[in-house]
Chains A and B, each alone.
Chain A
Amino acid sequence: MPSPLTMLYYLVHPNELRSIIQWKTWHNPVHERDESKEGPALKRCFHFLDLTSRSFSAVIKELHPELLVPVCLFYLVLRGLDTIEDDMTISLQTKEPILRDFDNILERDGWTFTENGPNEKDRQLLVEFNVVIEEFKKVKPAYRDIIKDITKKMGNGMADYCNNAEHNVNGVNTIADYELYCHYVAGLVGEGLTRLFVEGKVANPALLNRPELMESMGQFLQQVNIIRDIKEDMVDKRRFWPKEVWTKYVTNFEDLSKPENKEVALQASSEMILLALRRADDCLYYLAGIKEQSVFNFCAIPQTMAIATLDLCFQNPVLFQRNIKIKKGDACQLMIESTQNLQLVCDIFRKYARKIHQKNNPHDPNFLNISIACGKIEQFIETIFPSQKKPVNMASPLSVAQAEKERKEAQEAKWDIIYMVSAVMLTIFFITGSMLFVAWLAGARFDIAFSEFRQQFGELMSLSDKPDARDPSENMVINHSEL
C-alpha cells in the first residue's frame, strides 16, 4: 500500500500516475523467458540477476531467447569481477591475480570465492559462483569467447587501477584518464554487447567498424552515473570527476558541496555534463544499427534515462546535497517511449536537449559550448529523420549543361514508358497466342467458334429489326422449298 504522502503526490501529478499505470498495464515484453525449460542452476543465475541489478534485470529478461542467457551471464561475470575489485577488505595480493585471471576462472568448474567482506552486498553471487560457471559452459562457443575476451580486458584494466596508488589517493586526474576509466568499466561492456548482438544477428555488423559508436554508448551511461553520484561518491571518499575539470572551479574536491560554492560547483557540473552531452549523437547513431525490438529496448531505455538524468542534474544545486533520481512517472513515460522505435527515442533526445538548452545559464563559462552541443544533437536527428520535404523545383535549371541533362532525362523517361507498355503488350500477345495454340493442338475448333461468334454477334445487331439479318438456316429452308 503506498503511503498517504505518495498518494497525495500522484493526486497533484496525475500525468505521472497515468504513465505508471499505462506502463504497468500495456507493456508486453517482446519475448518472455520460459522458466519451465530452465535448470536449477540457470534459475539461480536469474535470481542473482534480480538481486544484483537494479535497472538491467527487467530489460535483460525480455531479451531475444538467443541472447537472453549469454547477456545475463555476461552481466553476472562482470558483476562478480566488480565485487572483487570494489572490496577494500581484500588485500591487493589476493585481488590482483584473481582480476587478471578471471577469464580463465570462468572455465574452472566449481570455483567460488568466499573472502569478500560481510558488508559487500553482492558477496553471495561469488559464494555461489559455480552456478554461473556451470551455465557458462553451456553457452555457444562464439559467445563464450566474446565474454572471455572482454572479461580479460576489463580484469586487467581493473588490476591496473588497483595497482595505481596515485589513482587510489587522488582519483582521476585528466579528462583523458576519466575517459579511459569509463572505457574500462563501460566502454568495454558496450564492445562486448555489440559483438554478442552481431554474433546473434540482431545488430548491423557495420557497428563493429565504427568502434567509437559503441564506446560512446558505454561512456554516455557511465559519465552520467558519475555525474549523478557525485554526492554519494564524495561521502564514500571516491573521486571520479577528473581533477582537470574541478580544479578550474574549486581548490579541494570536497568544496564542491559547500553552500558558498554553489555557483562554481554548478559550473563544474555543467562542464562534466558537456563532456557527456557530446556523446549523445553517437548513441542515436548506434541505436540505428539495432535490428531486433527486444535488443533495441535493452539499448534504448538506459540511454533515454541517461539523457533525462543529465537534464535533471543540469543547473541543479541539489546534485551536491543528496542523491537525485528521475521521478517514477517520468521513468515509466520514458520506458513507454523507448520501447517502440528510433524516431520516438530521437524525439526524447531532442526534448531533453531543448530542456537543457533552456536552463543554460549565460554566466556559466560552458554556456556557449553547451548550446552548441544541444544544437548538434538536433542537427544529427535531422540527418536521420528529416522533418522537411524539399519544395518542388520551380526555378529554372542552373546551367545549360543541367538543362540538357534534364531534357535527356525526360526523354529517357518517355522511352522507358514506351518500352514498358510494349513489353506488357508483347507478353499479353505471347501468352494469348500460346494459349490459343495449345487449345488448337488439343483439338479446339476455332472455325466453328468463329462462325458461332459471327452469328451471335449478328443476332445481337439484328435486334434493330433488319429483315436481311435473319437466321441463315431459315434462309436455307426457304431456298430449299423453292427448289
Chain B
Amino acid sequence: MERPRIVVTGGTGFLGSEIVKALVAAKRFEVTAVDINPPALGTETFSQVRYVRASVLDAENLSKVFIEAQPAIVVHTVGVYPLGAARYTTKGKKTVFEINVEGTRNVLDAAKECGAKGLVYTSSVAVLFDELDRDFRHVDESWSTGRATLTYGQSKTIAENLVLSANVSDFLTCSLRSAPIFGPNDISVIPTIHGLINRGESPWIVGDGTNLIDFVYLSNVADAHVLAVANLLNSGTAAGEAIFITNGEPIAFRNLCVAIWKEFDHFPRFEFTIPKSLAWWLGYGSEWLSWATGSEGTFSRGAVKEATRTCYASIAKARRVLGYEPKVSLPDGLRTSCQHYKKKLNGQKRDESHRLD
C-alpha cells in the first residue's frame, strides 16, 4: 500500500522540523517540508524528506508546490509570535495578522485545491489565554474563544476559526492548541527566563508565586500532531475539533523559572516579593520610561499580569480523542533544553573570544 503523503508547512522551523522528525520516525508517511527557509545549519535533516522553499504568503507558488506534492494531509505550523515587549503592544500587528491569518487562508485554499483529505493546524492556548484580565484554571475546549486582547491570540483565533469552519466531510480539519513550547533551539521560553539572570531580575517575585502555568515539551507537541494526522486519515474523530495540547503538569511559574535558573547554576541570593498592585504601577512607569528613552524594556503591565496569573488547561480531550500522552516529563524536557541552550551560549562565547583574538 502506498504511504500517505504529508506536507508540513514551516517544516524547517522550531516545531515543524520536530514534526517532520516524528513523522519520519513513524515510518508510515512520505514527508514534504515546505518552508521559507532551508534547514538551518546544524539541524537534523532527513534524506527521505523533500525540502521545498515556499512562502505561505505567496499563494500562487504555494498552490504549485502543493499540487506537486499531492499531500493526503497538510500540517500547517507556520506562525509568528511577537517576542518581548511587542507582545503587549499593537506594534507589528499587521505582519502578525498577515502571516497567521492570511497565511493560513492561503494554505487552506492550496490544500483544498490540491485534493488533500485534511489539515492539522497548530493553534495555541493563546486563543483563550491571551485575554490577560482573566485566570484560567483547568479550562477545557467547551470554553468559547474570541475574547483575546493581544495581537497574537487574536490572530490565532481568527485563523483557528478559518480552519475549523473549513471542515467538511471530504476535507477534515482539526486544530491543536499548544501551550508555550520549550525544547532545544527554543528562542522564547528558556532564553527569556534565562535572560532575567543577567539583568539581575531573578530575586524579584511578583505576586505570591503560587500561580500555575502550563507548558509543553517540543517532542510531545510533535507527537500530538502525528496522532492528529493519523486520526484524520483513519477514524476522523478529531475532525472539526479544537484540542488543548500541554504537558499536563501545570507548575507555579516562579518554580519553573527557578528550575531553569538552577540548570544554569544560578540561585537567587535573596528573594523579594513585590505585591501585584505595586508591580502594576512599576510596569506602567517602566512603559513610560521605555517610551521616553526609546529603549525596549521587558517590564510592562502586560508582563506583570502574565507573570502573576493562573492559566492551565485540561488535556482530557487530547487523551480521549487522540490517545495523546505526554511522553517527556517536564523535568526531563527542561534538562534537555537547558543543556542544549547552555552549549549554544558557550559556543557563542567562544566565537566572541576568537573574534577578540
Residues of A within 8 A of B (CB): 354, 357-358, 360, 362-363, 367-369, 371-372, 374-376, 378-379, 382-383, 386-388, 390-391, 393-396, 398-402
Given contacts A362-B262, A367-B255, contact A383 B138 (CB under 8 A): yes
Instruction: Identify B210's interface contact among A358, A382, A387, A394, CB under 8 A.
Output: A358
* 5 A-B pairs (CB sep. < 8 Å): A357-B252, A367-B258, A371-B256, A386-B138, A388-B135
What residues of chain B lie closer than 8 Å to A395, measured between beta carbons? 144-147, 157
What residues of chain A lie closer than 8 Å to B142, measured between beta carbons? 390
Contact with A along B245-260 (1 / 0, CB 8 A): 0000111100110110
Evaluate contact between A394 and B146: CB separation under 8 angstroms: yes
Evaluate contact between A371 and B145: CB separation under 8 angstroms: no
What residues of chain A lie closer than 8 Å to B255, measured between beta carbons? 357, 360, 367-368, 371
What residues of chain B lie closer than 8 Å to A391, measured between beta carbons? 134, 143-144, 147
Q: How far is the CB of A139 from chain B (nearest CB, A)?
A: 43
Q: Decide yes or no whether B126 CB sits under 8 A from chain A.
A: no
Evaluate contact between B251 and A375: CB separation under 8 angstroms: yes
Given contacts A367-B259, A396-B161, contact A388 B252 (CB under 8 A): no
What residues of chain A lie closer than 8 Å to B166, measured between beta carbons? 399
What residues of chain B lie closer than 8 Å to A401, measured between beta carbons? 167-168, 240
Beyond contacts A368-B330, A375-B252, A382-B137: 11 other A-B pairs, Cβ-Cβ < 8 A, are: A363-B267, A368-B255, A369-B331, A378-B212, A383-B138, A388-B139, A396-B161, A398-B240, A398-B242, A399-B165, A402-B240
Evaluate contact between B252 and A398: CB separation under 8 angstroms: no
Considering the chains assembled together, what is the distance between the CA atoms of A354 and B258 in angstroms? 16
Given contacts A357-B210, A358-B210, A360-B255, contact A372 B249 (CB under 8 A): yes
Q: Decide yes or no whether B129 CB sits under 8 A from chain A.
A: no
Q: Which 3 A-B pairs have the closest CB atoms?
A: A395-B146, A399-B165, A382-B138
Considering the chains assembled together, what is the distance between the CA atoms of A386 and B143 in angstroms? 13
Q: Which of B221-258 contact A (CB under 8 A)?
A: 240, 242, 249-252, 255-256, 258
Evaluate contact between A371 and B252: CB separation under 8 angstroms: yes
Evaluate contact between B259 and A371: CB separation under 8 angstroms: yes
Evaluate contact between B138 and A372: CB separation under 8 angstroms: no
Q: How far is the CB of B266 from chain A (nearest CB, A)?
A: 9
What residues of chain A lie closer than 8 Å to B92, measured between beta carbons? none
Considering the chains assembled together, what is the distance between the CA atoms of A87 and B134 in angstroms? 60
* Max count, chain B CB within 10 A of own CB: residue among A360, A375, A395: A375
What residues of chain A lie closer than 8 Å to B314, measured between beta carbons? 383
Q: How far is the CB of B48 from chain A (nearest CB, A)?
A: 36
What residues of chain A lie closer than 8 Å to B249, measured between beta carbons? 372, 375-376
Considering the chains assembled together, what is the distance between the CA atoms of A394 and B249 in angstroms? 30
Q: Decide yes or no whether B304 CB sits under 8 A from chain A.
A: no
Q: Decide yes or no whether B334 CB sits under 8 A from chain A.
A: yes
Considering the chains assembled together, what is the distance between the CA atoms of A387 and B136 in angstroms? 10
What residues of chain A lie closer than 8 Å to B275, measured between beta carbons? none
Considering the chains assembled together, what is the distance between the CA atoms of A354 and B135 in angstroms? 18
Instruction: Identify B259's interface contact among A358, A368, A387, A402, CB under 8 A.
Output: A368
Q: Decide yes or no whether B312 CB sits under 8 A from chain A.
A: yes
Q: How far is the CB of B249 from chain A (nearest CB, A)?
A: 5
Considering the chains assembled together, what is the distance between the CA atoms of A387 and B212 in angstroms? 14
Considering the chains assembled together, what is the distance between the CA atoms of A375 and B268 in angstroms? 22
Q: How far is the CB of A39 from chain B (nearest CB, A)?
A: 53
Task: Specify the chain B residue showing the minimal Cβ separation from A350.
Answer: B210
Q: How far is the CB of A171 from chain B (nearest CB, A)?
A: 28
What residues of chain B lie closer than 8 Å to A388, measured between beta carbons? 135-137, 139
Instruction: Identify B331's interface contact among A372, A390, A402, CB under 8 A.
Output: A372
Q: How far is the CB of A375 from chain B (nearest CB, A)?
A: 5
What residues of chain A lie closer than 8 Å to B262, measured between beta carbons? 362-363, 367
Q: How far is the CB of B275 from chain A (nearest CB, A)?
A: 16
Evaluate contact between B212 and A379: CB separation under 8 angstroms: yes
Task: Specify the chain A residue showing the minimal Cβ separation from B258.
Answer: A362
Q: Which of B59-106 contact A (CB under 8 A)?
A: none
Task: Specify the chain A residue showing the minimal Cβ separation from B136.
Answer: A388
Instruction: Identify A399's interface contact among B164, B209, B256, B268, CB under 8 A.
Output: B164
Instruction: Identify B147's interface contact among A354, A362, A394, A398, CB under 8 A.
Output: A394
What residues of chain B lie closer than 8 Å to A374, measured between beta carbons? 252
Q: How far is the CB of A284 from chain B (nearest CB, A)?
A: 14
Q: How far is the CB of B318 from chain A (nearest CB, A)?
A: 15
Evaluate contact between B143 and A390: CB separation under 8 angstroms: yes
Q: How far is the CB of B111 from chain A (nearest CB, A)?
A: 16
Evaluate contact between B147 and A379: CB separation under 8 angstroms: no
What residues of chain A lie closer than 8 Å to B167, measured between beta carbons? 399, 401
What residues of chain A lie closer than 8 Å to B168, measured between beta carbons? 401
* Max count, chain B CB within 10 A of own CB: residue among A354, A382, A383, A394: A382
Evaluate contact between A362 and B267: CB separation under 8 angstroms: yes
Considering the chains assembled together, what is the distance between the CA atoms of A399 and B134 in angstroms? 26
What residues of chain A lie closer than 8 Å to B161, measured between beta carbons? 396, 398-399
Considering the chains assembled together, what is the distance between the CA atoms of A260 and B157 in angstroms? 57
* Max count, chain A CB within 10 A of own CB: residue among B136, B209, B252: B252
Evaluate contact between B212 and A375: CB separation under 8 angstroms: yes
Q: Which of B296-341 contact A (CB under 8 A)?
A: 312, 314, 330-331, 334
Q: Which of B260-313 contact A (CB under 8 A)?
A: 261-262, 267-268, 312
Evaluate contact between B252 and A368: CB separation under 8 angstroms: no
Task: Specify the chain B residue showing the minimal Cβ separation from A353.
Answer: B210
Evaluate contact between A379 and B331: CB separation under 8 angstroms: no
Evaluate contact between B165 and A398: CB separation under 8 angstroms: yes
Task: Specify the chain B residue showing the minimal Cβ separation from A378.
Answer: B212
Considering the chains assembled together, what is the distance between the CA atoms of A374 and B135 in angstroms? 18
Considering the chains assembled together, what is the distance between the CA atoms of A369 and B255 in angstroms? 10
Q: How far is the CB of A350 from chain B (nearest CB, A)?
A: 10
Given contacts A398-B161, A399-B240, contact A378 B250 (CB under 8 A): yes
What residues of chain B lie closer than 8 Å to A363, measured between beta carbons? 262, 267
Contact with A along B146-172 (1 / 0, CB 8 A): 110000000001000100111110000
Q: How far is the CB of A314 from chain B (nearest CB, A)?
A: 14
Considering the chains assembled together, what is the distance between the CA atoms of A393 and B252 in angstroms? 29
Evaluate contact between A379 and B250: CB separation under 8 angstroms: yes
What residues of chain B lie closer than 8 Å to A393, measured between beta carbons? 144
What residues of chain A lie closer than 8 Å to B259, measured between beta carbons? 362, 367-368, 371
Q: Which of B160-210 contact A (CB under 8 A)?
A: 161, 164-168, 209-210
Considering the chains assembled together, what is the distance between the CA atoms of A358 and B334 in angstroms? 21
Given contacts A363-B267, A394-B144, A395-B146, contact A368 B164 (CB under 8 A): no
Task: Specify the chain A residue showing the minimal Cβ separation from B334.
Answer: A368
Given contacts A357-B210, A390-B142, A391-B144, contact A371 B251 (CB under 8 A): yes
* Max count, chain B CB within 10 A of own CB: residue among A378, A390, A400: A378
Considering the chains assembled together, what is the distance between the CA atoms of A270 and B150 in angstroms? 40
What residues of chain A lie closer than 8 Å to B331, measured between beta carbons? 368-369, 372
